[in-house]
């Protein structure tokens, strides 16, 4: 609990409440017998704890247990991957470039290092054409962006034209309303 408090993962009052809830939980003989009979080959640890903890009775303890179960050693390989990502990250690196660098890094590590890496002829030919593929992808991205820009511009023009037509319609309706009133007045004069 001290480590969680020092790391500012939980406020002090939540940790104190979790400690109190834990003391109340282990004071129950039924819970103690369940703990003694726990077998990790049969039941996963997280399932076991969630079956022991009642959501309404121990909300603070549940949060602490969840936090502690997340900090397992089972994610060590992923965490090592994060440090590799940190090493290869540079400014303005796109997501595709990061994926490609990770793929190359993993392949080199699997091969046992750069000196043990077998580079097939097909890969060499592919690398010779990489610049042309990059230029083609860049051109394709530009054309997609240009198409999007045209669509936005077209939509803006259509909206502007619709506003102008609405204004014209309003003017025509006002004009016809005025003419209708004048005609109705003339009819009234003639009927008198």
Give the mean model confidence (pLDDT) for residues 24-31: 88
Q: Are residues 17 and 66 in the same domain?
A: yes
Q: Are residues 103 and 56 in the same domain?
A: no
Q: Are residues 166 and 131 in the same domain?
A: yes
Q: Are residues 163 and 180 in the same domain?
A: yes
Q: Are residues 130 and 113 in the same domain?
A: no
Q: What is the DSSP letter of 43?
A: S
pLDDT tens track for 163-184: 999 999 999 999 999 999 999 9
Q: What is the largest CA-CA distance in the chain?
A: 112
Q: Are residues 24 and 49 in the same domain?
A: yes
Per the structure, the count of domains in the chain is 3
Q: Are residues 128 and 112 in the same domain?
A: no
pLDDT tens track for 39-67: 888 888 878 888 888 767 788 888 888 88
Q: Are residues 59 and 102 in the same domain?
A: no
Q: Are residues 178 and 138 in the same domain?
A: yes
Q: Are residues 43 and 15 in the same domain?
A: yes
Q: Are residues 55 and 94 in the same domain?
A: no
pLDDT at residue number 108: 83
pLDDT tens track for 99-131: 887 788 888 888 888 888 888 888 888 888 888
Using the 3D structure, point to which of 56, 83, 118 is the last residue of a domain. Answer: 118
The Cα angle at residue 100 between residues 99 and 106, in degrees rounded to 5: 90
Q: Are residues 32 and 65 in the same domain?
A: yes
- Provide the domain limits for residue 28: 2-71
pLDDT at residue number 182: 94
Q: Is the pLDDT of residue 78 over 50?
A: no
- Asked whether the beta carbons of 102 and 84 are under 8 A apart, the reply is yes
Q: Is 28 helix (H, G, I), strand (E, B) or coil?
A: coil
Give the residue from 23, 25, 15, 79 showing the smallest Cα distance to 52.
Answer: 25
Q: Is 72 helix (H, G, I), strand (E, B) or coil?
A: coil
């Amino acid at each position: 609990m001290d480590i969680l408090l020092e790391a500012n993962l939980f406020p002090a009052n939540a940790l104190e409440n979790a400690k109190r809830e834990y003391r109340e939980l282990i004071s129950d003989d039924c819970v103690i017998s369940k703990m003694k009979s726990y077998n990790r080959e049969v039941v996963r640890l997280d399932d076991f704890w969630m079956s022991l903890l009642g959501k309404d009775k121990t909300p603070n303890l549940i949060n602490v247990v969840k936090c502690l179960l997340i900090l397992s050693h089972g994610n060590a390989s992923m965490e090592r991957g994060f440090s590799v990502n940190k090493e290869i990250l540079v400014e303005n690196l796109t997501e595709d470039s990061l994926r490609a660098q990770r793929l190359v890094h993993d392949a080199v590590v699997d091969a046992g290092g750069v000196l043990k890496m077998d580079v097939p002829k097909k890969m060499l030919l592919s690398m010779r054409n990489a610049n042309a593929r990059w230029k083609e992808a860049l051109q394709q991205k530009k054309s997609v962006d240009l198409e999007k820009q045209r669509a936005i511009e077209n939509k803006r023009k259509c909206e502007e034209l619709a506003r102008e037509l609405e204004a014209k319609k309003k003017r025509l309706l006002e004009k016809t309303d005025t003419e209708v009133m004048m005609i109705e007045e003339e009819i009234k004069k003639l009927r008198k």
